[in-house]
Amino acid sequence: MPVILFLVSTGDFNVAQLSTGELQAPVNEIIIVLNFATIVTAHFLFSSAFSSTISKKAELNNQLKKALAEAEWLAESKTEFLSTMSHELRTPLNSVLGITELLQKDAASTEETEKLEILKYAAENLRALINDTLDFNKLESGKLALETISVNLADNVKKVVSALNFQVQEKNISLILDMDETLNGKRVLTDPTRLSQILNNLVGNAIKFTQQGMVAIQLQTLSADAENIQIRFAVKDTGIGIGVEQQELIFEPFVQASDSTTRRFGGTGLGLAIVKQLLIMFSSSIQVNSTPGEGSVFYFDISFRLDTENQTEINEEIQGAHDLSGLRILVADDNAMNRLLLAKIFDKWNNKPVFVFNGQEAVEKLQQHDFEVILMDVHMPEMD
């Protein structure tokens, strides 16, 4: 007869075989009762353990759901905070840049022009840092999407070069554009703003880390047919170079090749991280070849669809400015600096617009007067 033994000390079940002939009749009944009690006890212990496991699993799932909800809330709060912060910072910065440009036009001497150029350059750098922070946050949260519009590729790249000329002149290095002649006048369907941002970040980085020599932007056609074209973009420099062990790290956010690099050259360490993420959206990837002390080459390939309907170059000329002095204009903006800037711009056109501070006042003015043009801020008190 099998006897089930449950050892409390170890929690194990054992089976012992006893011959019925060796046992007296009352003992048989006792063993049967004990076996039954052991089975009931085992079932109870198993049920308790199973119920406890289910309860713990449910509790763990609830904790995970709560943690996930908190993480999502924190991410959303961070996005909202950065968006608000960047708006509040960029608004006065844009006013500073606008007023600087107005002052440059009225500058009486070369010295004044140079000082204003330095002010403009500093403000543009600060705005670029703010834009990088906001763009990286958008990329992280998946809230940034590419446009697809027709653009003259060569002109788009030339604008990047033109915008960065001041930086290379200040450092007395050369900025070279080497582009296939076949690309002149070629129109492609892409996002010109984000493509320019990629080139701006790469070229700006190259200029920052190059003390002598040159920075070159190269565009080479890899393949082309009637509808598509694949182009390799390369940015070369004769700068400080990057060691092999650092070449992967530099594409991580807030990371530079070394702490000494950050102290010496500054920057947020977001530029290359943004380049990497944007190129993923372009179905491409960034590659780098670099030798410390000799320089670096950053390159990537992008396939574009050709704008076959608008390959003929479009030359748009503004036909003589119209007289704006009699135009009835309403401006709604709660920012005092913006109103000051717009007032000065319109003053040059002999126009005095009506200014209001929010959307509610704009609606009231519109009911009282007939305006031909309304310029409105997006975020305003009372009514957007």
Say if residue 221 is in the same domain as residue 160.
yes
What's the pLDDT at 68?
Answer: 86
Give domain status of residue 100, yes or no.
no
Amino acid at position 196, single letter: S
Same domain, 153 and 297: yes
Q: Is residue 84 part of a domain?
A: no
pLDDT for position 17: 53
Domain boundary among 18, 51, 66: 66
195 and 246 assigned to the same domain: yes
- Give me the domain span that covers residue 198: 148-306
- Specify whether the CB–CB gap between 376 and 354 falls below 8 A: no
CA quadruple 72, 73, 78, 84: dihedral sign: positive
Which CATH number does the domain housing residue 346 bear?
Answer: 3.40.50.2300
Let me know if residue 133 belongs to a domain.
no
271: pLDDT strictly greater than 80:
yes
The phi and psi torsions of 6 (rounded to 5 degrees) equal -110, 115
* % of the chain at pLDDT higher than 70: 84
pLDDT at residue 46 above 90? no
Identify the residue with better confidence: 345 or 12. Answer: 345
Among 66, 99, 117, residue at a domain's last position: 66
Residues 153 and 301 in one domain: yes
Residue of higher predicted confidence among 320 and 360: 360
Percent of the chain with pLDDT over 90: 38
| 221: in domain | yes
What integer pLDDT is reported at residue 263 of this predicted model? 46
**116 vs 48, which has greater pLDDT?**
116
Residue 295 burial (C-beta neighbours within 10 Å; 0-12, 13-18, 19+): buried
> Is residue 7 pLDDT above 60, yes or no?
no
Give pLDDT, residue 14: 52
Q: Which residue has the higher pLDDT, 153 or 90?
A: 153
* Euclidean distance between CA atoms 370 and 327, whole angstroms: 11
**Res. 8 pLDDT band, cuts 50 70 90:** very low
353 and 292 fall within a common domain: no
pLDDT-derived band at 266 (thresholds 50, 70, 90) equals: low
At residue 3 the predicted structure's pLDDT band, cuts being 50, 70 and 90, is very low
Residue 355 sits in the same domain as residue 291 = no
Is 366 in the same domain as 299?
no
Residues 371 and 294 in one domain: no
Per the domain annotation, does 72 fall within a domain? no
Determine the average pLDDT of the residues in 274-279.
94
Q: Rounded mean pLDDT of 289-297?
A: 93
If asked whether residues 293 and 338 sit together in one domain, one would say: no
What is the model's pLDDT at position 27? 55
Residue 111, number of CB atoms within 10 A of its CB: 9
Mean pLDDT of 17-26: 53
Within 10 Å of residue 283's Cβ, how many Cβ atoms?
9
Q: Could you tell me if residue 74 is inside a domain? A: no
Give the residue from 124, 138, 159, 12 showing the smallest Cα distance to 75: 138
Q: Where among 18, 35, 66 does a domain terminate?
A: 66
Whole-angstrom distance, CA of residue 123 vs CA of residue 127: 6
Q: Output 299 or 260, whichever has higher pLDDT.
A: 299
Q: For the residues 352-375, what does the mean pLDDT come to?
A: 93
Number of domains in the chain: 3
> What's the pLDDT tens digit per position in 313-330?
555 554 555 788 889 999
Residue 76's Cβ-side half-sphere holds a number of Cα atoms within 13 Å equal to: 6
Tell whether 296 and 335 lie within a shared domain: no
> What tokens were used for 311?
């390959």
Asked if residue 315 belongs to a domain, the reply is no
Residues 107, 354 contacting (CB under 8 angstroms): no
Identify whether 297 is part of a domain.
yes
Residues 178 and 283 in one domain: yes
pLDDT tens per residue, range 157-189: 999 998 888 788 878 899 999 999 999 889 999
CATH assignment at residue 260: 3.30.565.10
Residues 158 and 215 in one domain: yes
Q: Please, are residues 5 and 14 in contact by the beta-carbon 8 Å criterion?
A: yes
Mean pLDDT (the chain, rounded): 82
